[in-house]
Structure 1
Amino acid sequence: MNHKKKLIELFLYFVIVVVGIVLLITSNAKDGQNSDFQVGGAYHAAVLDEQ
């Protein structure tokens, strides 16, 4: 009986991980741009002044 409960628990953990991965993939697919470079909706760039 204890073995059966562990298998059910393992299956539930597996389902939670798969659902999480699917949600991460589908939420990133909606973004047209890479959101790693956006901070608060503003773009940051380094401008080098060459003289």
Structure 2
Amino acid sequence: MIDKPVVVTSQEAKRIQLQELMSESNQVIIVHNGEDYRLRITRNGKLILTK
């Protein structure tokens, strides 16, 4: 089953602390439209999202 895309306006945007999302890891897998995306924190503290 493929979820429908969610469109979020700036007024509806949910604010989350990165530590809450990542827990004790430096990367998480986000599933969007049946595809896996990897969000990771680099050694320099930058965020990178890759498919």
Which TM-score bucket, shorter chain as reference? under 0.3
Higher strand share: 2
Higher helix share: 1
Q: Specify which structure has the bigger relative contact order, considering alpha-carbon pairs within 8 angstroms and separated by 6 or more residues.
A: 2
Normalization by structure 2: what TM-score? 0.19
